[in-house]
Amino acid sequence: MARGFDTPPHDKAFANRRRDPATKREAVLTTAAQLFIEKSYGRASMNDVAERLKITKPALYHYFQNKEQILLECYRLGSALIEETLNEIASHGGTGVEKVSAFIYSYANVMTINFGRCVMRLDEGDLSEDARIEVRKYKRKIDRRLRSFIQDGIDDGSITACDAKLAAFSIAGALNWICQWYEPEGPLSPEEIASQFARTLTQGIARRQRSQSNGH
C-alpha cells in the first residue's frame, strides 16, 4: 500500500471549468476528509475546504447538499474500505486466530488512510439522527465480524476461552486508536504498525514460562 496516496494537492481538479463533476466531487471529498482529520469536523469550515481547493464556498454546494453529506460520504467510503477487507478475510478461511490476525493487519492499514481514519476518529454526534443510525450500522457490522472471528477461534481451539465481546473491544480499541496518533510523515510505517499489532494483540507481550494447558 503506497503511503500518503490519498493526500495529493487536489486543487488541480478545479483548475478550469471543465465539466467533470465526478472527479471534482471526489476532490472535494478527499480534501474535506483531510481537513476533518487535521482540524476535526467542527473546526474545519466549508470555507477552509473551498480555500484549499482554490474555489469559493458556494461552489461546494454544486457537489454536495450540505456539510453533513460530505461527512456522511467520508464515513461511507471509509466503511466500504473496511468491509472490503473483512469480506476478503472471511472468504480466505483459516483458523480463528489466523482470521483475527489478518483482520488486525488489514484494519491497521486502513486506519492510516484518511477515509478509514474518518470512520473511527470523527464524532458521530456531528451527524443527524438518520445518518448516525446508518453509520452505527456500519460500525456494528465491523464489530460483529471481529467478534465472530474471535468466536471461531474459541470454537476451533486456536483462541483461549474469553469474553469475545470484551476481546473485540480491546483489539478494536488498539486499532482504532491508531487513527489518533498516526502521522503519515512519522517514523512508523503502516506495515510496521500492522505487523507488530497483529503479533502482540494475539500472542500478548508476556513471555511464556510454563507451558500452559495445550490441546483439548
Partner DNA sequence: GCGGAAACTTACCGATGGGTAAGATATCAG
Partner DNA sequence: CTGATATCTTACCCATCGGTAAGTTTCCGC
Give the residues lining the site for a second copy (CB under 8 A).
39-40, 42-43, 97, 100, 123, 125, 150, 153, 157-160, 162-163, 166-167, 169-178, 180-181, 188, 192-193, 196-197, 199-215
Binding mask 5-44 for DNA (x = CB under 7 A): ---------x-xxxxxx--x------------------xx
Using DSSP's 3-state secondary structure scheme, residue 75 falls into helix
Least distance (Å) between residue 14 CB and a second copy = 27
Task: Select the residue interacting with DNA from 3, 23, 61, 123 (CB under 7 A).
Answer: 61
Using DSSP's 3-state secondary structure scheme, residue 200 falls into helix
- CA angle 192/196/200 to nearest 5° reads 170
Nearer to DNA, 104 or 135 (CB): 135
Buried b (16+ CB within 10 A) or exposed e, 147-175: bebbbbbbeeebbeeeebeebbeebbeeb
Residue 174, φ and ψ in degrees, nearest 5 = -55, -40
Residue 128's binding partner among a second copy, DNA, none (Cβ under 5 to 8 angstroms by kind) is none
* Residue pair 167/96 in contact by the 8 Å Cβ criterion: no
208 binds DNA (CB under 7 A): no
**Cell numbers placing 43:** 473546526
Residues 6+ apart with CB under 8 A from 17: none
Task: Select the residue interacting with DNA from 3, 8, 12, 47 (CB under 7 A).
Answer: 47
The piece of 56-64, 113-121, 145-153, 164-172 that touches DNA (CB under 7 A) is 56-64
* Residue pair 114/172 in contact by the 8 Å Cβ criterion: no
Task: Select the residue interacting with DNA from 67, 132, 141, 199 (CB under 7 A).
Answer: 67
- CA angle 28/121/140 to nearest 5° reads 105
Nearer to a second copy, 83 or 157 (CB): 157
58 binds DNA (CB under 7 A): yes
Nearer to a second copy, 61 or 177 (CB): 177
Least distance (Å) between residue 60 CB and DNA = 8
**Among 22, 21, 43, which residue's Cα sits nearest to residue 32?**
43
List residues binding DNA (CB under 7 A). Answer: 14, 16-21, 24, 43-47, 50, 55-59, 61-62, 66-68
